[in-house]
A and B are shown apart, each in its own frame.
Chain A
Amino acid sequence: EIVLTQSPGTLSLSPGERATVSCRASQSVSSSYLAWYQQKPGQAPRLLMYGASSRATGIPDRFSGSGSGTDFTLTISRLEPEDFAVYHCQQYGSSPLTFGGGTKVEIK
């Protein structure tokens, strides 16, 4: 099973700042099959990125993803108030599907 480790656990930033979330895999993720989700309290996850760097429908371009192999990054170029949430990575290149532990982006 591929273990995904996200860092940091919590990121304290101000609106307008840049956020960088890391997702490291215990082994190479096949074909960069890595997705990112945003989750707000009491809500279901929302798909942000897939294929490591493709934005899902309706996702603003301040969100970007990069990486391959075992190291992946989600970047939010300028934080908007609605971006403060928990972010999860997920690999779908091998069975079983696995998720990272989540990174909370909170207002500083």
Chain B
Amino acid sequence: EVQLVESGGGLVQPGGALRVSCVASGFTFNGHTMSWVRQAPGKGLEWVSAISRSGEYTYYADSVKGRFTISRDNSKNTVDLQMDSLRADDTAVYYCAKEVIDHAIEYWFFDVWGRGTLVTVSS
């Protein structure tokens, strides 16, 4: 079964740091770019960050650039998001998502999502 499972969410004070992780199973992990997408309470979805198959290339939304760092370990089938200098507006459920490859072409929409992990930034 293709699966993504996130962990590491919790309550953190403004200005603090938190690391969320995602472990993948059921597919060739190192064959896919992976993304983090977040959803603030009662709001829509926001793409946060992505990392290429080898981990060589990383991409960030402007809202998190310079504060968040994405990484992956293909030996462990994991992708992490290190979040520093957290702000109240970073409060959200953070989803790990797998991009699609069709006929050897990568498309950045997502066919597999984890259940998410809640990050709350509050004093």
CB–CB A99/B46 < 8 A: yes
Number of interface residues of B (CB under 8 A): 20
Taking CB atoms and an 8 Å cut-off, the chain A residues in 9-50 that contact chain B are: 33, 35, 37, 43-47, 50
CB–CB B114/A90 < 8 A: no
- Minimum Cβ distance to chain A for residue B48 (Å): 10
Contacts A96-B47, A96-B61, A97-B47 given; indicate if A90 touches B109 (C-beta within 8 A).
Answer: yes
Taking CB atoms and an 8 Å cut-off, the chain B residues in 5-41 that contact chain A are: 35
Contacts of A65 in B (CB 8 A): none
Contacts A50-B100, A92-B108 given; indicate if A99 touches B47 (C-beta within 8 A).
Answer: yes
Partner of A50, one of B35, B109, B115: B109
Q: List 28 A-B contacts (CB under 8 A).
A: A33-B107, A35-B109, A37-B110, A44-B95, A44-B113, A44-B114, A45-B45, A45-B95, A45-B113, A47-B110, A50-B109, A57-B111, A88-B44, A88-B45, A92-B107, A95-B59, A96-B47, A96-B61, A96-B62, A97-B47, A98-B47, A99-B44, A99-B45, A100-B44, A101-B43, A101-B44, A102-B44, A102-B45
**Nearest 7 pairs between A and B by C-beta?**
A44-B113, A35-B109, A97-B47, A99-B45, A92-B108, A101-B44, A102-B44
A contact residues vs B (CB 8 Å cutoff): 33, 35, 37, 43-47, 50, 56-57, 88, 90, 92, 95-102
